[in-house]
């Protein structure tokens, strides 16, 4: 029986810190952030590097959403701009 061990990681996107967690299970890396999860097959990059790539994708998806009428507030809360 194997268990999933989640590890913390962090990156910087657009000059702001983005924190998340990742785990390796059954040859796959899953990264989790405040807005969801992404999974990819473990390959050439080490697990932590792949997790950071996935975390960057998650942050990028959130940034795209913020361009549709919302912007980040002073405490990272979404605020309506119009």
Question: For 13-59, how does the pLDDT look when each residue is reduced to its tens digit (9 = 90+)?
Answer: 888 899 999 999 999 999 999 999 999 999 999 999 999 999 999 99
Q: What is the largest CA-CA distance in the chain?
A: 53
- The residue with greater pLDDT, 71 or 42, is 42
How far is it, in rounded angstroms, from Cα 38 to Cα 11?
A: 15
Sheet of strand 16-25, all strands in order from the earlier edge strand to the far edge = 7-13, 16-25, 28-33, 36-41
> What local confidence, expressed as pLDDT, does residue 14 receive?
85
- pLDDT tens, residue by residue, 48-67: 999 999 999 999 887 666 64
> What local confidence, expressed as pLDDT, does residue 30 receive?
97
Asked if residues 46 and 38 have their Cβ atoms less than 8 Å apart, the reply is no
Rounded mean pLDDT of 8-12?
A: 95
């Amino acid at each position: 029986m194997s268990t999933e061990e989640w590890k913390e990681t962090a990156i910087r996107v657009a000059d702001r810190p983005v924190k998340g967690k990742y785990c390796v299970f059954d040859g796959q890396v899953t990264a989790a952030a405040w807005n969801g999860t992404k999974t990819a097959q473990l390959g050439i990059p080490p697990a932590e590097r792949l997790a950071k790539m996935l975390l960057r994708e998650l942050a990028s998806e959130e940034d795209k959403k913020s361009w549709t009428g919302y912007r980040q507030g002073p405490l990272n809360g979404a605020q309506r701009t119009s």
